[in-house]
Amino acid sequence: MNASVEKHTLDNGLVILTKEIHSVPLASQWIWYRVGSRNEVRGKTGISHWVEHMQFKGTSKYPINVLDQAISRDGGFWNAMTSLDWTTYFETLPSDKLGIALDLEADRMVNSLFDAQETELERTVVISEREGNENEPLFRLGEAMNQAGFEDHPYRNQVIGEMQDLRAITRDELYAHYKHHYSPNNALIALAGDFDTREVIERLAFLYVDIPAVENSKFVPAPESGLPENKLIEQGGPGETIYLQVSYRSPAASDPDFFALMVLDSLLTGPSSLAMFGGGSISNKTSRLYQLLVEKDKAVSISGGLQATIDPYLYDILAILPPDKPVEDVLRVIDEQIERLQNEPVKGEEIARAIKQAKALFAYGCENITNQAFWLGYASMFADHTWFDQFIPNLEKVDAESLMQTARKYLRSDRRLTGIYRPKNNGK
């Protein structure tokens, strides 16, 4: 993908990545800010996500009732996301309307209003979102697991933030967070689609020339390496099924071990994609745990979760069980299969199949304009855009020996979290 990617840096520090794709008359712009829940301090958790919401509340040039119309009336769509390590906004629209998106994001970088009344209305929204999440078994279990998995690192917090912080954060604190982190030297623009790079760069240079760089020193936490000990976390609440989550410390995405762990995940639970918008799916029925747990009627489903992050995070194996099935049987099967991976070389054909599946998902996740622009910026948040270019070559380097070493290093039974969520009160 990156053979035709061009990188430009403006005098104020704004990095621009462009990839021309002339197969369809569409273009997608993503603007990424290097701030997420990882950079939040205690007492202000959730502030990055809330600021993201406020970016849709309008500027003087694009009032709240005009913003959506500016994109949708021309057949485009837009959205935003806040994650552990970053916040991003995107627009995908007909290429002859790209100028609207370019102008809109330049305006939002410095001119968002943060109206006091709208701030309070949005407080209600994010609190309601948090309350809704608390009714979900996986959110409750995941939050408990993260808090057990990190002593001080902000990865222990949910992106949406703690309820007490959402009630206490003020409009001025939100605005200060915005002004401190939303600047050209803390941002990256990724564009893919049907446009002329020279013209786009000239337009962006004009739009951003008067926006100065900001000294936006931010809280950068010390990474946490291994999990401190083997912990059991038990949760209960509404629902009709049992959730078993086993979590291990995972490497940062820039660590060479990341790709071996990705193949291990595919072997254990089936292939999964890092892309945000899919583009295809592959059955996990060839994975070891599916065959031993789902096909043997010990679990309803099995899945894995590996995220690309700046600092070491958590790799999860999640099993969903009917209430009459013993958790101990499922956990024993997981342990047995991990022990096999640690001590028995995986056969070449099984490795080849896992890599082939991962490569296929990778291809599916790159098939549209929106995802191609996404990948340029996404990889730049934890490494640089060439990380994506080396994705397949790094997968192909994984062999039986590196799989065994990685399984021994990360999938340790004495350094893991075991979380169990059980339904209570007949699911009410």
pLDDT digits (tens, 9 = 90+) for 144-169: 999 999 999 999 999 999 999 999 99
Give the Å distances, CA to CA, from 177 to 58, 186, 211. 17, 13, 17
* DSSP conformation letters of 105-168: HHHHHHHB---HHHHHHHHHHHHHHHHHHHTSHHHHHHHHHHHHH-SSSGGGS-TT--HHHHHH
Give the Å distances, CA to CA, from 135 to 11, 141, 236, 237, 427. 48, 11, 11, 8, 12
Which residues contact residue 415 at a Cβ distance below 8 angstroms, ignoring those fewer than 6 apart?
226, 227, 228, 229, 230, 248, 249
What 298-306 contacts at long range (C-beta under 8 Å, 24+ apart), as own/partner pairs, is 298/325, 298/329, 298/330, 298/333, 299/325, 299/330, 300/241, 302/269, 302/270, 303/269, 303/270, 303/272, 304/265, 304/268, 304/269, 304/270, 304/272, 305/272, 306/250, 306/258, 306/261, 306/262, 306/265, 306/272
pLDDT at 2: 46
**Lowest-confidence pick of 28-32, 199-203, 357-361:** 357-361
**Do the domains at 2-208 and 231-427 have one common CATH topology?**
yes
∠ Cα 302 306 308 (to 5°): 160
Distance from C-alpha of 196 to C-alpha of 202, rounded to nearest angstrom: 10
3-state secondary structure 398-414: CCHHHHHHHHHHHCCCC
Predicted confidence band of residue 428 (pLDDT cuts 50, 70, 90):
very low
Distance from C-alpha of 114 to C-alpha of 184, rounded to nearest angstrom: 20
A 10 A CB-CB count for 355 gives: 20
Give the three-class secondary structure for 27: strand
Q: What is the mean pLDDT of residues 84-109?
A: 97
Q: Is the pLDDT assigned to residue 278 strictly greater than 60?
A: no
The tokens describing 79, both together, are 């959205």
- pLDDT 10s digits, 228-243: 788 999 999 888 999 9
Distance from C-alpha of 332 to C-alpha of 336, rounded to nearest angstrom: 6
Q: What is the mean pLDDT of residues 129-138?
A: 95
**Lowest-confidence pick of 176-180, 210-214, 253-257, 421-425:** 421-425
Distance from C-alpha of 284 to C-alpha of 329, rounded to nearest angstrom: 20
> Is residue 362 packed enough to be buried (19+ CB in 10 Å), middle (13-18) or exposed (0-12)?
buried
Distance from C-alpha of 297 to C-alpha of 207, rounded to nearest angstrom: 59
Residue 250 · residue 411 · CB < 8 Å: no
The tokens describing 384, both together, are 């640089």
Nearest alpha-carbon partner for 111 in 170, 47, 160, 64: 64
CA 283 to chain centre: 22
Predicted confidence band of residue 185 (pLDDT cuts 50, 70, 90):
very high
pLDDT at 113: 95
Residue written as tokens 């009459």?
324
Q: Is the pLDDT assigned to residue 1 strictly greater than 70?
A: no
Distance from C-alpha of 254 to C-alpha of 310, rounded to nearest angstrom: 7
Nearest alpha-carbon partner for 309 in 60, 39, 123: 39
Which amino acid appears at position 371 of this protein?
Answer: N
pLDDT at 276: 62
Spell out the domain ranges in the chain: 2-208, 231-427
**Fold entry, domain 231-427:** Cytochrome Bc1 Complex; Chain A, domain 1 (3.30.830)
Q: What is the mean pLDDT of residues 274-292?
A: 80
Tell me the CATH number of domain 2-208, given options 2.40.128.20, 1.25.40.10, 3.30.830.10, 1.20.1070.10.
Answer: 3.30.830.10
Q: What is the mean pLDDT of residues 93-109?
A: 96
Predicted confidence band of residue 277 (pLDDT cuts 50, 70, 90):
low
Give the three-class secondary structure for 243: strand
Q: What is the mean pLDDT of residues 19-25?
A: 95
Q: What is the pTM of this model?
A: 0.94
Residue written as tokens 């049987």?
329
